[in-house]
Chain A
Amino acid sequence: MATPKIDPTLKKPAGDGDGPLYAETVMIHPRTVKGIFRNWKWAALIVLLAIYHIAPFLRWDRGPDAPSQAILADMTGRRGYFFFLEIWPQEVYYITGLLFLAAIALFFMSSLAGRIWCGFFCFQTVYTDLFMYVERLVVGDRSKRMALDRARWTGDKLVKKAIVNAIWLVISASCGIGFTLYFGDAPTMLRDIFLGREDSAVYGTIAVVGGCCFLLAGYAREQVCLYMCPYSRFQSAMFDEHSLIITYEEWRGEPRKPIRKTETFEGRGHCIDCKMCVTACPTGIDIRDGMQMGCIGCALCIDACNTMMDKYNLPRGLITWDSSANQAARERGEKTRIHLVRARTIVYVAIIAAVSGLMIFGLSSRKSFDLAVQHERSPLFVPLSDGSIRNGYTVKILNMVREDRQFELTVSGIEGAGLAVVGGQASGAKAMLQVEPDTVGTYNVFVTAPADKLQSKRTPLYFTLRETAKGGSNRLESLFAGPER
């Protein structure tokens, strides 16, 4: 183990002294515990997996051109759908905003109550929990699993290991399939996946996601938290003395010593050194060493310790969820209080509020169409036989709703300027342009202006796009090039 240990009775970490260059990975088989946090963890597991697997099947009317799915990343159609929202590729900043919010929410959560994300909600934790549950059903609890690992390869071991791995593979496949269903019409995709009719990319994705699920939750487990996940490395930056963390009441527990039935707790600590907390820990650490990188905040050691405290009629919470400031206060016998409102949490909430506000503002003022005008550079301008000057433009109209719409394009800023559209209708300075539902309409537009109305070289020209049915409009400044005078 890479985590430092203080307790001299425990085995020294590998690499100690003239130890080996590489550390052996010891499979951790945590003891099953009962208690309130274990129940919360089961609840989180069920709710999260249900959301993950049910969400792609939620329906939402998207018209004839897209699957009627509520949550969908349509890669070929280049659209992202989330219930009432439809995101175009250039609006990917909404997703950036969402990720930013998620990050700050994570910091906020951590500064309040430690690594509850890691301990309760992270998919690595959820799937590892589920995989361990399968092992417990097939093989048994900690001691039986450890015994099976040590045992010689017999028929019984082979059968048990095969059953465990087979169930793991089924869960992993459902994880992989569940992932792909967010990228296509879920019901038809699910059917096609089982009928072997899907694209090789889909099966490849299922293999990669499912394979990672199998390896990470089945075999890598706490190694992911210790060596792969960057979060455990910077968690301490979010903590302060008021953050609620999993903590051992050292002042009450020490000196620790095993106890006989005839002895009393006079003149000694409440910790009976039963190591229930150590054996219950899914990352194999000893929480009595204090806060450490290996602790994912799952609180199972609290459940384990409380069970023992109840047995010996001692107050619960020798291992507890508390802040280090409160622990210091308890040791001195002072009053404790939970500081939720602190500079750190206020800043996090302020950032969350600001970003969500910006996003809500952006989404509510989001236009249902957009205009882009590009001035043609070759030729910059064309002198016509009657002495007037013509410029070419590429006009792109983004029709971001699911209806065929008419737009009126007008130019202004130059007196006598006239419009002509390739494949469209135009008269004077106005043109009617039609754009199909949910597409970008591209038009080659020519503007002709009398030479005597132009400034030398370039004159500002304004394009106004008006949606004829609802009347929203968008104005852009472009330029009109002409000869130098």
Chain B
Amino acid sequence: MATIEKDSVSGQNTTGHEWDGIKELNTPLPKWWVYVFWATVLWAIGYWVAYPAWPLVNGYTKGTFGYSSRGELDNELAAQKKARSAWLSKIEASDVAAVEKDKDLLRYAMAGGKIAFNENCAPCHGVGGVGAFGYPSLADDEWLWGGALADIEQTIKFGVRNTNANARASEMPKFGADGLLKPEQITAVSDYVVSLASKAPAKGSAGETVYAENCAVCHADDGAGNKDLGAPALNNQIWLYKGTKDAIAAQIAKPKHGAMPAWSERLDASTVKMLAVYVHNLGGGK
């Protein structure tokens, strides 16, 4: 039990607490400090009245200020939309080439395109257009349907192999599954394509003949491909479905075909333009 005693120096009472001979004086708190405390309590009550505070059975007290965090978000979004509309209408009114030439529009389109890309395109093509097995890389310099700005815009707008009337479409025959080539011919031509890719075509091989008769129509004699048909180049190390001999043979026997939605059906024109500019500037644009 603490003993309260009078301190001889100050004449004040102690609290009765003592540590190593040091006794604590019982100095009263100034009264105004207590008033400040009560003022903060009153302030809190004011908050209950002014702002949403108490949960009720069916909802909550709304507060006299009519504040809600949802409403605040709506206001901010509306303000953002208003701020953006000047830029977006400018982008909508110009063609993509003009957007890319204008320094300020380019900066805006790159930022807006990046956000739209990450929301809509990155699930397949990867962040930064890195690509994946079956999903072409948009950062390298090989393009199935053309890497010029207008080509990219066209591809984004109408997509690939979908129900849109303007969609890019092409189909490689199922050389193996439909019996167009014999298995040994597929093996030979696969060998030839591998040699094409390493820039040392196996001249005079059996594969070369098969290639010239069946593949060169679309993929060109030297394997450069044909962008109008969506036929990929075979004479480099960039492969959508892997570049090993087995993967090439599988693609010849029973080809896989990717599809892409027509984004003009889902996104507005200015967003498609910003996407085109962004993709064109991922590094590989022609």
- Answer yes or no: B191 CB below 8 A from chain A CBs: no
A431 to chain B, nearest CB (A): 15
Question: Assuming A227-B33, A384-B140, is B28 touching A423 (CB within 8 A)?
Answer: no
Closest B residue to A446 using CB positions: B283
B256 to chain A, nearest CB (A): 21
Question: Assuming A378-B128, A392-B128, is B141 touching A21 (CB within 8 A)?
Answer: no
B233 to chain A, nearest CB (A): 7
Judging by beta carbons under 8 Å apart, are B32 and A379 in contact? no
**Chain B 223-240 interface mask (CB, 8 Å, partner A; 1/0):** 000000000010011100
- Answer yes or no: A383 CB below 8 A from chain B CBs: yes
Closest B residue to A10 using CB positions: B11
Closest B residue to A387 using CB positions: B237
**Chain B 128-151 interface mask (CB, 8 Å, partner A; 1/0):** 111100000101111000000000
- Answer yes or no: A333 CB below 8 A from chain B CBs: no
Q: Which of A11-43 contact B (CB under 8 A)?
A: 12-25
Q: Could you say which residues of chain B place their CB within 8 Å of the CB of A379?
A: 126, 128-131, 137, 139
Q: Could you say which residues of chain A place their CB within 8 Å of the CB of B85?
A: none
Judging by beta carbons under 8 Å apart, are B29 and A385 in contact? no
Judging by beta carbons under 8 Å apart, are B237 and A383 in contact? yes
Judging by beta carbons under 8 Å apart, are A4 and B128 in contact? no
Closest B residue to A422 using CB positions: B281
- Answer yes or no: A138 CB below 8 A from chain B CBs: no
Judging by beta carbons under 8 Å apart, are B141 and A385 in contact? yes
> Measured between alpha carbons, how far is A369 from B15 in the docked complex, in Å?
63
**Chain B 15-37 interface mask (CB, 8 Å, partner A; 1/0):** 00000000001111111111000
Judging by beta carbons under 8 Å apart, are B28 and A14 in contact? yes
Q: Could you say which residues of chain A place their CB within 8 Å of the CB of B31?
A: 22-25
Judging by beta carbons under 8 Å apart, are A387 and B236 in contact? yes
Question: Assuming A23-B29, A392-B128, A422-B110, is B140 touching A15 (CB within 8 A)?
Answer: no
Judging by beta carbons under 8 Å apart, are A17 and B13 in contact? yes
Question: Assuming A384-B140, A446-B283, is B13 touching A23 (CB within 8 A)?
Answer: no
> Measured between alpha carbons, how far is A21 from B28 in the docked complex, in Å?
6
Question: Assuming A5-B10, A423-B103, is B33 touching A382 (CB within 8 A)?
Answer: no
Q: How many A-B residue pairs have CB under 8 A?
A: 110
Question: Assuming A422-B281, A444-B110, A444-B281, is B238 touching A385 (CB within 8 A)?
Answer: yes
Partner of A13, one of B11, B33, B107, B283: B11
- Answer yes or no: A58 CB below 8 A from chain B CBs: no
Q: Could you say which residues of chain A place their CB within 8 Å of the CB of B283?
A: 382, 390, 392, 420, 446
Judging by beta carbons under 8 Å apart, are B237 and A15 in contact? no
- Answer yes or no: A223 CB below 8 A from chain B CBs: yes
> Measured between alpha carbons, how far is A386 from B31 in the docked complex, in Å?
83
Judging by beta carbons under 8 Å apart, are B128 and A23 in contact? no
Judging by beta carbons under 8 Å apart, are A20 and B28 in contact? yes
Judging by beta carbons under 8 Å apart, are B127 and A23 in contact? no
Q: Could you say which residues of chain B place their CB within 8 Å of the CB of A370?
A: none
Q: Which of B92-140 contact A (CB under 8 A)?
A: 100, 103, 106-107, 110, 126-131, 137, 139-140
- Answer yes or no: B12 CB below 8 A from chain A CBs: yes
Count residues on chain B whose CB falls below 8 Å from chain A CBs: 39
B156 to chain A, nearest CB (A): 18
Q: Could you say which residues of chain A place their CB within 8 Å of the CB of B56?
A: none
Interface centre among A18, A377, A422, A442 (most CB of B within 10 A): A422
Interface centre among B10, B34, B131, B236 (most CB of A within 10 A): B10
Judging by beta carbons under 8 Å apart, are A15 and B28 in contact? yes
- Answer yes or no: B9 CB below 8 A from chain A CBs: yes
Q: Which of B50-86 contact A (CB under 8 A)?
A: none
Main DSSP-derived SS at the A contact region: loop
Q: Which of A390-435 contact B (CB under 8 A)?
A: 390, 392, 420, 422-423
> Measured between alpha carbons, how far is A321 from B275 in the docked complex, in Å?
76
Judging by beta carbons under 8 Å apart, are A382 and B137 in contact? yes
- Answer yes or no: B284 CB below 8 A from chain A CBs: yes
> Measured between alpha carbons, how far is A420 from B139 in the docked complex, in Å?
13
Q: Could you say which residues of chain B place their CB within 8 Å of the CB of A2?
A: 27-28, 30
B280 to chain A, nearest CB (A): 9
- Answer yes or no: A74 CB below 8 A from chain B CBs: no
> Measured between alpha carbons, how far is A422 from B106 in the docked complex, in Å?
9
Q: Could you say which residues of chain B place their CB within 8 Å of the CB of A18?
A: 13
A437 to chain B, nearest CB (A): 15
- Answer yes or no: A376 CB below 8 A from chain B CBs: yes
Q: Could you say which residues of chain A place their CB within 8 Å of the CB of B110?
A: 422, 444
Closest A residue to B12 using CB positions: A16
Judging by beta carbons under 8 Å apart, are A4 and B236 in contact? no
**Chain A 423-459 interface mask (CB, 8 Å, partner B; 1/0):** 1000000000000000000101010000000000000
Q: Could you say which residues of chain A place their CB within 8 Å of the CB of B131?
A: 379
- Answer yes or no: A6 CB below 8 A from chain B CBs: yes
A406 to chain B, nearest CB (A): 15
Closest A residue to B236 using CB positions: A385
B239 to chain A, nearest CB (A): 10
> Measured between alpha carbons, how far is A16 from B14 in the docked complex, in Å?
9
> Measured between alpha carbons, how far is A446 from B128 in the docked complex, in Å?
13
Partner of B12, one of A15, A376, A420: A15
Closest B residue to A444 using CB positions: B281
Q: Could you say which residues of chain B place their CB within 8 Å of the CB of A382?
A: 130, 137, 139-140, 283-284
Q: Which of B231-258 contact A (CB under 8 A)?
A: 233, 236-238
Q: Could you say which residues of chain B place their CB within 8 Å of the CB of A420?
A: 283
> Measured between alpha carbons, how far is A446 from B281 in the docked complex, in Å?
10
> Measured between alpha carbons, how far is A12 from B33 in the docked complex, in Å?
21
Partner of A22, one of B30, B103, B238: B30
Q: Could you say which residues of chain A place their CB within 8 Å of the CB of B128?
A: 376-379, 392
B232 to chain A, nearest CB (A): 10
> Measured between alpha carbons, how far is A220 from B33 in the docked complex, in Å?
11
Partner of A4, one of B12, B32, B126: B12
Q: Could you say which residues of chain B place their CB within 8 Å of the CB of A423?
A: 100, 103, 106-107, 281
A13 to chain B, nearest CB (A): 6
Partner of A23, one of B28, B106, B137, B237: B28
Closest A residue to B26 using CB positions: A15
Closest B residue to A17 using CB positions: B13
> Measured between alpha carbons, how far is A409 from B64 in the docked complex, in Å?
59
Question: Assuming A382-B284, A423-B103, A444-B110, is B30 touching A23 (CB within 8 A)?
Answer: yes
**Chain B 254-286 interface mask (CB, 8 Å, partner A; 1/0):** 000000000000000000000000000101100
Closest A residue to B101 using CB positions: A423
Judging by beta carbons under 8 Å apart, are B233 and A385 in contact? yes
Q: Told that A14-B28, A20-B28, A385-B238 touch, could you supply 10 new A-B pairs with CB distance under 8 A?
A: A2-B28, A4-B12, A21-B28, A22-B34, A220-B32, A223-B30, A379-B129, A382-B283, A420-B283, A444-B110
10 contacts between A and B (CB under 8 A): A4-B10, A4-B25, A15-B26, A16-B11, A17-B6, A19-B28, A220-B32, A379-B129, A387-B237, A392-B283
3 nearest interchain CB pairs?
A15-B28, A379-B130, A4-B10
